Structures are given as structure tokens and as C-alpha cells.
Chain A
Amino acid sequence: MKINKLYLVLFLLALVAPMVLYPVFLMKVLCFALFACAFNLLLGYVGLLSFGHAAFLGTGGYVTGAMMLHTGMGPEISILVGTVAAGVLGAVYGKLAVKREGIYFAMVTLALAQLAFFFYLQSPFTGGEDGMQGVPRGSLLGMIDLSDNTNMYYFVLAIFIFGFWVVHRTIHSPFGQILKAIRENEPRAVSLGYNVNDYKWVVFIISSALAGMAGSTKTLVFQLASLTDVHWHMSGEVVLMTLLGGMGTIFGPVVGAGVVVTIQNYLSGGELGNYIHIIMGFIFIVCVLAFRSGIVGELQKIMKKNFG
């Protein structure tokens, strides 16, 4: 009951937020929050560190961008196609990657993501270094004009809630129980008769599709799909967001994404813009050394200590 009230309060806050804060900024936070939630599904609930999630974010973005530019389909169809495309790529990459564990899993995903990066760099349809520019936002179901930031915000919010709900449902499902068992003790899960690679593969597909959905949405928000989204920096950034917020917690990635995006926005405008990576790196080190369970993880500990 308590958690439901929390959801309700957050939902109401999200509804009124664009009246206080700049909607584009909020949309950026929501896109990255969804991306981090998708990533956290792998790292936090199965213990798989993917270092190539930018490939799925970027694929979703480029495919949706191309759909909007060249086919004249509406935003809802374009996002759907982008999501599916990322999911298909995830199915291929995941099939290869889940055969390996630990650091090797991370390296395989990184290598595969670099393949995607160079593919998008060389392909003519992406615009290479310039990126895919001037992507129209279109209108939702042909009725609601999304070029209006407020309308767009509520559309993005709906997508985010859907994605968040998928993650939540997956974690708290019979399937999610097996995922947690794999995270906790993989050999034991095998000895109980579970083909762990199949479970890892399915969750990898879910995670990559959601990452693609985040990328698709982001392309519509900024009307731009660029190489930044497929670059390995992006894969690293999502690790930072998840760890900072608290991996393995449902709200952690959302908080982490919020903090990281806020810091980036704040710094890039000011005099400290050139030092942004140094500052982010410093935060990362402090986070790993001092509070390893992240912001939400630490808060949960305090709550448990004092009230639980």
C-alpha cells in the first residue's frame, strides 16, 4: 500500500512538473531514465554487465528517425518500429553474448556495439558525423500536434510509464524470480534444471528493446539522431547512472539518470563545461568508494534501519 501511494505521488508530480521545469529538460531525463531502467534490468536483476547498450539506444533512434523522415508514418508507429529493430538487434547480439560470463560478457557486448557504431558511421542514411537532422515530431494519431513541447512531454511521460511498468512487471513475475536466482547463484540454478542462457537471452531482448524505445523517443524529442547515442561513452554513461542511483533497485536508475542529466545540463552551460568529464569521473569514484549501493540503495538502508 505504501509503495502504491509513493507511485501516485510521483505520478502527480510528473504531471505538474512541466509547469515548473523546462519540458525539454524533463523529457531528456525521462528518456535517459528509461534507458537506465532497461540497463538495470540486466545489471541489477541478472548480474549481467552489458557494455554495449548504446547500440540499442542508437538503433532505436536511427530507425525511428529514418521512419519519420522517409516513410511518413506517425510517431507511434515509428517508435514501435525503432523498438522492435533494437529488440531484433538485441536478439542477435544477446544470443552471442550470453554464452560468456562476467568480464567476457562485457567485452563481447562492447565489441558488438562498436560494430554497430562503425556501421552507423559509414552508412549514408545516418548522415555520418553530422547525424540525422531535422526529424519531424509529427502528430500523435494524426490529432495531437507533438511539435508543442507540453504535448510532447505527456507523450514521453506515457512512454516512460509504459517502459517502467514493463520493467516492474518483469522483475515481479515468475520469470523475474528465475532471473534473481541466476543472479544469486548461477550454478545452483543450473543444477535445479534451468537453462540459464535462455533466460538471459530473453531478458537481454527485453532490455535492448526498451533501450531502443528510449532511443526512439529521444530522437523525436531532440529531432536528431547522432553518433553520440551509439558511441561507447553512452554505454559507460548508463553504467554511471545506474550505479549512482542504485543498481538492483527499481527507482535507482531513474534517480541516477536525473542526477547525471542535471549535472551535465548545469555544467555544460557554465564555466566548468570543459571539466565535465573530470567532475563526472570524480562523482563516479566517490560513489563506488563511499556509497556502493547508490543513492536509492543507501536511502533504503537508512529507512530499514530506522523504520523497518
Chain B
Amino acid sequence: MKDLFALYAAFFRIGGLTFGGGLTMLPMLQHELVDKKHWVEEEDLLDYYAVGQCTPGIIAVNVATFVGYKKKGIPGAIFSTLGMISPSLIIVSIIALFLNEFMSNEYVAHAVAGIKVVVCALMLNTVFTMAKKTIKNYIGAIVCVLAFVVAMFTPVPTVLIVIAAGVFGILLTKIKKKEEGKK
């Protein structure tokens, strides 16, 4: 039980002190889990990250679940995940409560309008960073543009586009293998 609470507390700290998720969380995880607690080795953490990136869901949460499971089985996984999401739940709920109440204030409304412009710029940044990271070849570029066009102009659900891209990736590898077999 003590170990479970230690897991919860560690991930609560990580979730509550890091802004942004994914890769921005890696230094904090390293500091807390590798250097301070010696729960995992540096390479293990990078392996968990690799898995976290190719499994559904939020990357930081996936890493927390993985570390918790390796440490204390299923209860460990649950406590780590809960620790990771608790700070968000508390902080964001409080902000949401106040934001909805203060939105009628004139100054808040102006501030929010200004913030929206910045959010657009931030999101533009996200798209460009992701494009640089995820598009590795021209087929990837075509898939990206296709997904954009389909999502923009047709009512095809987002879920289907994700599944189709995954199936296409597997087919592509199979075709490549066949061709290599012929040679």
C-alpha cells in the first residue's frame, strides 16, 4: 500500500509541475523516476516512451501506466495513472469554474479575444512541429494531405481515417516484402 501511494505521489508531482505533455515531460520523468527514486533505468524509460507513442492515448499517461505496471502490477498502473491526472482535474476544474463566471466581464472578454489569436499561432506551431516529426517520406506526405482533404471536405469520421491509415501502412509493408521476395 505504501508503494502504491509513493507511485501516486510521484506522478502527482510530475503531472502538477510540468506544463505540456509528451516530450516536454521527459526531463521531469527522468529526474523523478531515474535519478531520485531509481525505479527505472534511463533506457527503460526511453523504451516506455517508444511504446507510449505507438499506443492510443496521451503519451505522458501511457508512460505513467507502464512504469506503474512494471513496479507494482495492475494496482500500480492504476495508482500511477490516477496520480498523473489528479492535478489536471483539480486545477482545470477550478479554472473552468472561474472562467465561465468571469467571461461576462468586459476586460476578461477582451483578454480572451487576444488569447485566441495566440492560441492560433501556437496551434500553427504544433502542426508544423508535428509535420516535421511525423512525415518521413513522400508517401507520408501524401497520406497527410489526403487525411487533411478527407477530414475537411467529407463527413468521414476521424476514427475511420485513423484506422484506414494504419491498414494502409501494414499493406504497404506487405507489398514491399513481397517485392523483396521476388528479387
Do chains A and B stick together as partners?
no
